[in-house]
Amino acid sequence: MPQLEIGGTTYEVDEDGFLQELDKWGRGFAQGYAAVEGIEGELTEDHWKLIDYIRDYYAQFGIAPMIRKMCKDTGFDLKRIYALFPSGPAKGACKLAGLSKPTGCV
Partner 1 sequence: MKKNIHIDDFTRPGGQVTELDPAELDPLPPPYDKIDKPSIRKLTEEQRKRMDASLDGIVAIGLTPPKTPEEEKAFIDKFLAGIKKLFSADDNWTFLQPLVHTLEYCVKCQICSDACPVYISSGRQDIYRPTMRPELFRRIVSKYIKKEHPFLRKIKDSDIDLNWQTLARLGELAYRCTLCRRCAQVCPLGCDNALISREIRKVFSQQMGIAPKELHEKGSVQQLRVGSSTGMTPAALKNILEFAEEEIEEKTGRKIKIPVDKKGADILLIHNAGEFLAWPENLEAFAIILDAAGVDWTLSTEIAGYDSVNYGVWYDDFQFARVVIRQSQAAKSLGVRKISFGECGHAHKAGIVVADRVLTGDLIIPRESSLPMLEEIVMSGRIKLDPGRNNFPVTLHDPCNMVRLMGIVEPQRRILRKICPQFREMTPHGVENYCCGGGSGFAITQSTNFPDWRSAVSGRMKMKQILEAFQDVPGAEVKKYVCAPCSNCKGQFRDMFEYYGVWEKSGILYGGLVELIVNAMADLKKPFIQWEWH
Q: Which residues are catalytic?
A: 105
| Total site size for partner 1, rule CB under 8 A | 20
Task: Indicate which single residue of 4, 52, 82, 102 sits in contact with partner 1 (rule: CB under 8 A).
Answer: 102
Q: Quick check: 31 and 42 in contact, CB under 8 A? A: yes
- Work out whether 15 is an interface residue with partner 1 (CB under 8 A): yes
Whole-Å CA distances, 10 to 32, 62, 68: 12, 24, 33
Residues 44-63 that bind partner 1 (CB under 8 A): 61-63
- Work out whether 67 is an interface residue with partner 1 (CB under 8 A): yes
Which of 8, 41, 42, 35 has its CA nearest to residue 92? 35
Which of 104, 9, 80 has its CA nearest to residue 92? 80
Q: Which positions touch partner 1 (CB under 8 A)?
A: 2, 14-16, 61-64, 66-69, 72, 78, 101-106
